[in-house]
């Protein structure tokens, strides 16, 4: 149920920590593919959601915060209830007005053991955050002053960069962006990612053994099935 007024829920549904740990072994490309053609696309945030530093990686349960545009009251309430290993998922609808995240909140998050923060909106103090080594993804960087008056909602379903995020969903992020794995699909995503990774090990070995990628992944058969003509000449010679 979508709340009609400000509310803070202090708890989130929890997934099997062993499954989360298995998911953390993979990049979001493998997990995205593991979710399948439909869910994989629906659960992938847009290229606008970028890491603020290279080499960032996160995988943990979502603690969500809905902020009124120009206000970041909800992020402080979310940070207060988040636990070690959780990922803060913050949104104000994606506007740059009122930075949602900064270095003071980041310092406290590090102290609590929060795993990372995803910001649909603006973050600031990026140089200081990079020095801390704390993972942050954001759709904007802006120092604009935020109010702290609400309204606010914490640990309710939110739409973040076009993706539905429910409290407790698994948030995975790396240099490629951010993926949301619904709790009900976590095992599927992990098992398919493991199978995909094992298959790619054989691909790399076959490449090392001298085979051609065009044949290894079956592109030659696809070209033949589609009836695509292959000509041993330049396009100019074929005019």
Phi-psi region of 136 (alpha: psi -120 to 50; beta: other; left: phi over 0): beta
- How high is the pLDDT of residue 121? 97
The answer, yes or no, to whether residue 218 has pLDDT greater than 80, is: yes
- How high is the pLDDT of residue 189? 96
- How high is the pLDDT of residue 79? 97
CB 152 within 8 A of CB 66: yes
- How high is the pLDDT of residue 195? 92
- How high is the pLDDT of residue 204? 86
Rg (the chain; Cα; Å): 21
The pLDDT tens digits of the residues spanning 166-206 come to: 999 999 999 999 999 999 999 999 999 999 888 877 878 88
- How high is the pLDDT of residue 54? 95
The pLDDT tens digits of the residues spanning 5-22 come to: 899 999 999 999 999 999
- How high is the pLDDT of residue 214? 82
**Averaged over 151-165, what is the pLDDT?**
96
The answer, yes or no, to whether residue 51 has pLDDT greater than 90, is: yes
The pLDDT tens digits of the residues spanning 78-123 come to: 999 999 999 999 999 999 999 999 999 999 999 999 999 999 999 9
Q: Percent of the chain having pLDDT more than 70?
A: 100
More confident call, 110 vs 214: 110
CB 62 within 8 A of CB 228: no
- How high is the pLDDT of residue 155? 97
Q: Say how far apart CA 209 and CA 216 lie, in whole Å.
A: 11
- Tokens standing for 5? 């007024």
Q: What is the mean pLDDT of the chain?
A: 94
- How high is the pLDDT of residue 62? 98
Question: Which candidate, 2, 58, 47, places its Cα nearest to that of 181?
Answer: 58
The answer, yes or no, to whether residue 1 has pLDDT greater than 80, is: no
Q: Say how far apart CA 5 and CA 46 lie, in whole Å.
A: 29
Domains (ranges, CATH) in the chain? 7-191 (3.50.30.40)
Question: Which candidate, 109, 126, 2, places its Cα nearest to that of 58?
Answer: 109
The answer, yes or no, to whether residue 230 has pLDDT greater than 80, is: yes
The pLDDT tens digits of the residues spanning 61-82 come to: 999 999 999 999 999 999 999 9
Q: Say how far apart CA 86 and CA 60 lie, in whole Å.
A: 5
More confident call, 197 vs 152: 152
């Amino acid at each position: 149920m979508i709340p009609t007024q400000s509310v803070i829920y202090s708890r989130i549904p929890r997934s099997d920590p062993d499954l989360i740990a298995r998911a953390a072994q993979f990049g979001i490309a493998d997990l995205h593919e593991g979710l399948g053609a439909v869910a994989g696309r629906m659960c992938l945030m847009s290229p606008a959601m970028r890491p603020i530093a290279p080499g960032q990686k996160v995988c943990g349960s979502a603690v969500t915060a809905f902020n009124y545009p120009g206000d970041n009251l909800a992020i402080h309430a979310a940070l207060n209830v988040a636990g070690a290993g959780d990922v803060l998922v913050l949104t104000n609808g994606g506007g740059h007005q009122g930075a949602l995240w900064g270095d003071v909140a980041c310092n406290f998050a590090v102290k609590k053991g929060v795993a990372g923060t995803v910001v649909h909106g603006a973050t600031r103090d990026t140089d200081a955050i990079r020095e801390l080594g704390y993972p942050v993804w954001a759709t904007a960087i802006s120092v604009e002053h935020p109010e702290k008056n609400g309204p606010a909602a914490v640990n309710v379903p939110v739409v973040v960069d076009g993706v539905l995020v429910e409290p407790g969903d698994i948030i995975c992020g790396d240099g490629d962006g951010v993926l949301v794995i619904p709790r009900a699909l976590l095992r599927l995503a992990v098992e398919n990612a493991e199978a995909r990774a094992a298959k790619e090990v054989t691909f790399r070995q076959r490449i090392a053994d001298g085979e051609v990628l065009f044949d290894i992944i079956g592109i030659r058969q696809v070209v033949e099935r589609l009836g695509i003509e292959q000509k041993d000449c330049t396009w100019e010679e074929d005019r």
